[in-house]
A and B are shown apart, each in its own frame.
Chain A
Amino acid sequence: MRWDWRQRSHDMTERRWDPTLREWVITATHRQERTFKPPADYCPFCPTEEDAEYPTAIPEPEYDMAVIENGFPSLQPDPPAPAVESTDLFPVEAATGQCEVVLFTEEHDGKMSEQPVSRFVKLVKLWRDRYEKLGAIDDHEYVYIFENKGEEVGVTLEHPHGQIYAYPFVPPKIERELESSDQYLREEGRCLFCDLIDSEREDGRRIVAENDSFTAVVPFHARWTYEVHVYANDHVPSIADFTAEDERNLGNLLNEILQRYDALFGFEMPYIMATHQQPTNGDAEQYAHFHIEFYPPYRTGDKLKYPAGSERGAGTFINNKLAEEGAAELRNAI
């Protein structure tokens, strides 16, 4: 049947199965219309001033931290029916789930590396709340906490913020990690990530920062020049398993990582931040291990690393620097 594009809904989300890579692809057509780089005076994430002509997305004149329902969600609690019919070879399902935006501060120009450690500790507590609340919903298999920071990684709103997607499936990169750790557990009797971080701490060459609960390293297999992974030192499957000391220590280490990033080249480092942890369907407690991954796109102070033919077309990253050298530079940045 020929597709008539004029019949398409303007608020259409669905997920389509790619049988070649065995992963879902989400289509969210309304995201073409999302707010794109508005001037600071029209920022939707700033508080609504008392004499404002138009309200922002925040209906109060001040706030500390806030979570708002994403105005242009890729996943929705009650999504529309898919635009095309599902077949055996081309499965399509409704894009069920939840998308939230996390506002780190009410300050539009608030530089996170200059925020006190307490703001990061608050953020960890907020993340934990959302992981637990969104994860308790039956439709949600994985609560993904992430941040896109900087124009270089495609950010369309400057106000300091992160995002949370509650997926109805375990996303493929996390699923592959968990399969590797599951296999390692069955073969070696230990969590893969526990052994990785123990080895990194013993070796020391790739460590960027550490405290009693967490260690930040440029991973042995870093894809990005200044990629950093923050691992829980002990076997902690998810943020829901944190002690109060863990919350403080993660806040402390995140603050330090951002300071090191911003000091490295003398400007606010853009990055993608991704949290990997136990799926909220309860699986993988023995082999899921909480960690956060940072992917900054700069390979020098004035050159970006573009994932291109080998990275996007073949799935093989080429790093321009030894992980040991990248870690040393970050250690010496402050």
Chain B
Amino acid sequence: MIEIPYNVKPRQETGLYNAKLGIWLFLASEVMLFGGLFSAYVLLRVGSPVWPPGGEAQLNIPLATINTFNLILSSWTIVKSWIALKENDFKGFKTYMGITLLCSLIFLVIKYFEYSAKLHHGIFPSTDNFYGIYFTLTGLHGLHVIGGLIVNFYLWGPGKKMWKSEPERFTNRVEVSGLYWHFVDLVWIFLFPTLYLL
């Protein structure tokens, strides 16, 4: 069987192993995806005589603030889980990645309550341009949280067996997953003031 090169060791020309170059290319495409939607937000806002068009937005700032703290904390715990593996501390990895998963779940539960309250009050994406872009941006971000949750759960649960056979490759997987997770945090850092506060 032919072994795929540069799974663990960095390629000489780039100084990167395959997955790390891959995740950065993916994140570049993600910047364009969210960039397009942020551009749409700016256009809608400057094109509207009043913003939000329906008067003051009914968004829950305390819940969104809790979620901001929550995501920032999870960014720290996931980097700590990677550091733990670098130091051969598998138990530390399990603990920190477990906290990251918990934070992701809390984020989604809070988002569920936020969405439910809006739908209950008859606020839908079709209500006006503000809620249209609000649901699009936060919905897409929420899907990214779910994606990260699934991958991180795999690494924490069934995927952890790789630690015994290929510890360096497993550590790299956690690093790559962490880079994605930090990006999800980064997007929220801009979404929070843009949609909720300004």
> Is the pairing of A and B real?
no
